[in-house]
Amino acid sequence: MLSNIASSLDNTNQQIALACQKVGRPRHNVLLMAVSKRHGVEKIRQVYDCGQKDFGENYLNEALEKQTVLRDLPIIWHYIGHIQANKTRKIAENFAWVHTVDSIKVAHRLSKQRPDNLPALNICLQVNIDSEQSKSGLLPDKPDLLSFAQEVRRLPRINLCGLMCIPAPKMTKVAESETFTAMQSLQHYLSDNGVKLTTLSMGMSSDLESAISCGATIVRVGTAIFGQRPQLH
């Protein structure tokens, strides 16, 4: 018998496989990131022991504490939280990926602070795809995004991989896939203009299928694997 968490991970992987199959994409095209924010290290270890290697965290201090406890595991850590410019050094030193870059200043600092003994830092540019007032991210303006991407690409210790979004909640599947299609169209636009990006980081527990049908290469799944997040106290 699989434990709860093992079977949730298994279900998520099957869901991804099925979504890939439906649109004729190979399963290895899509990476599953397990989003472990607010879940304890024992659960992370359990998920790791089921074969999951990539984990995402939103809160820097929480992530650093977990990384210390779990340093015996070769986990690939992704930073997916908001970035304060004065916190970039710790991010540059302790993560393989950063999905939430949306300022030139932050990009420059991450490049400068990335330790020499580590490979270039993989990053995604966060796009505020629904142009929400309250949300971080670059606005989905094609020429602006292109010049931003061109500048970031010149940074020596950064590997610009792709685009990331956190869409506004959607009422329908159609609206959901319109947003993801808009992300794909930004990716194609950048590619047509000489900035080839391999990564689209989009899709969470409730919308990963439509994200995959629109070209997602990294899905970020929390609740479907770990269950509801404990409340902050």
Q: Is residue 168 close enough to count as binding ligand PLP by CB under 6 A?
A: no
**55 or 154: CB nearest ligand PLP:** 55
Specify the stretch interacting with ligand PLP by CB under 6 A; choose among 24-32, 66-74, 112-120, 219-227: 219-227
CA atoms within 13 A on the CB side of 13: 12
Q: Is residue 159 close enough to count as binding ligand PLP by CB under 6 A?
A: no
Out of 58, 67, 103, 136, name the contact with ligand PLP by CB under 6 A: 58
CA atoms within 13 A on the CB side of 111: 17
**9 or 224: CB nearest ligand PLP:** 224
DSSP string, 3-24: -HHHHHHHHHHHHHHHHHHHTT
Out of 115, 223, 227, 230, name the contact with ligand PLP by CB under 6 A: 223
Out of 149, 166, 186, 197, name the contact with ligand PLP by CB under 6 A: 166
Out of 20, 35, 92, 98, name the contact with ligand PLP by CB under 6 A: 35
Q: Is residue 182 close enough to count as binding ligand PLP by CB under 6 A?
A: no
**37 or 43: CB nearest ligand PLP:** 37
Task: Please return the burial class of 133, using the count of CB atoms within 10 Å of its CB with bins 0-12, 13-18 and 19+.
Answer: exposed
Reading the block at residue 184, the tokens are 């794909």
The number of angstroms, rounded, from the C-alpha of 104 to the middle of its chain's C-alpha atoms is 19
Q: Is residue 82 close enough to count as binding ligand PLP by CB under 6 A?
A: no
Structural contact between residues 137 and 99, judged by C-beta atoms closer than 8 angstroms: no
At 126, phi and psi to the nearest 5? -80, 125
Q: Is residue 204 close enough to count as binding ligand PLP by CB under 6 A?
A: yes
Q: Is residue 80 close enough to count as binding ligand PLP by CB under 6 A?
A: yes
Say how many residues touch ligand PLP, by CB under 6 A: 12
How far, CA to CA in Å, does 194 sit from each of 58, 122, 140, 188, 199? 31, 19, 18, 10, 15
- Rounded distance, CA 58 to CA 71, Å? 18
Reading the block at residue 15, the tokens are 């869901």
Specify the stretch interacting with ligand PLP by CB under 6 A; choose among 47-55, 117-125, 175-183, 216-224: 216-224
Q: Is residue 202 close enough to count as binding ligand PLP by CB under 6 A?
A: no
In angstroms, give the least distance from the CB of 24 to ligand PLP: 25
* Contacts with ligand PLP, residue ranges (CB under 6 A): 35, 37, 58, 80, 166, 204-205, 220-224
